[in-house]
Amino acid sequence: MDDRFNTAAGWVLGAAIVALGASIVSGMYFHADSAEHPEEAGYFIEGAAEEGGADEGPDLGTLLASADAAAGEKVFAKCTACHTIDQGGANGIGPNLYGVMGASIGAHAAGFAYSSALSEKGGDWTWEAMDEWLTSPRAFASGTKMSFAGLSKPEDRANVMEFMSTYGGAPAKPEPAPAETEEVSEDFPGDGLGPVEGAEAGAAESAAGMSADQPVAAANAATNTDGATKVDE
């Protein structure tokens, strides 16, 4: 019994010694105790510098000032699958759009069942509101029944609204944004008339910059006095 116990204990102890030795050897081989850095350090990939947002184009007032109803009629052809626009036209999948510009949102077409998302929106169909609606109906009124994705081009939206305004009128258009004016810089040396500190002035500029009491050299003044002293009589 004792011999078997001693034998088993010896095997266990031997296995432990072997495992410990293998751990030490593997640690030395793989440098587990000290992390090595790569010979050439990695680097971050820098993205392109942001140059600002995309150009939004002209403001709505400027677009409407040059809007073309004839061009808008062609774009409106996409809407005729659901809407009529003639006065007295019937409602279809969407409401009749005669006189919609300037009317109350979600209430202008009698007898049409508007979605609560639109009927509860409130306000009127101003040029700005209609522009938002035509850009993305779902973004304008989340939950609307209108499945049209919208018109991405601002010019198309302006032309469509111009066309719609010829059927029943529309409110006053927004004014175009004023043109940006360049700032007038301050005078720099050498600009303008007269002598300026820090700039060399020509003969004419020097004369112009003198006061009436300052003497001006005559054209025929002597240039060589040979050391003599001249006294005016």
Tokens of 75: 């774009």
**pLDDT above 70 as % of the chain:** 56
CATH number at residue 104: 1.10.760.10
Instruction: Report the number of distinct structural domains present in the chain.
Output: 1
- Element containing residue 164 per DSSP (H, E): helix 154-165
**What is the mean predicted confidence (pLDDT) over 124-135?**
97
What is the C-alpha separation between 39 and 72, in angstroms, rounded?
Answer: 65
Least confident of 44-53, 63-72, 94-103, 119-128: 44-53
Tell me how far the alpha carbon of residue 84 is from its chain's centroid. 37
Q: Considering the domain boundaries, does residue 198 fall inside one?
A: no
What is the DSSP secondary structure assignment for residue 157, as one 8-state letter? H
- The 3-state DSSP class for residue 104 equals strand
- The answer to whether position 25 is within a domain reads no
pLDDT of res. 17: 79
Query: Is 49 among the domain residues?
Result: no
Q: Locate 38 and state its tokens.
A: 């790569």
89-91-93 Cα angle (round to 5): 140
36: pLDDT strictly greater than 70: no
Instruction: Give the pTM.
Output: 0.56
Residue 73 confidence (pLDDT): 97
Mind listing the pLDDT tens digit for each residue in 89-120?
A: 999 999 999 999 999 999 999 999 999 999 99
26 or 163: which leads in pLDDT:
163
pLDDT higher than threshold 70 for residue 202: no
Whether residue 88 is contained in a domain is answered as: yes
Of 127, 159, 133, nearest to 61 by C-alpha is: 127
136 lies in some domain: yes
**Could you tell me the residue range of the domain that residue 69 belongs to?**
60-165
pLDDT above 80 for 58: yes
Does residue 226 fall inside a structural domain? no
At 33 the pLDDT is 53
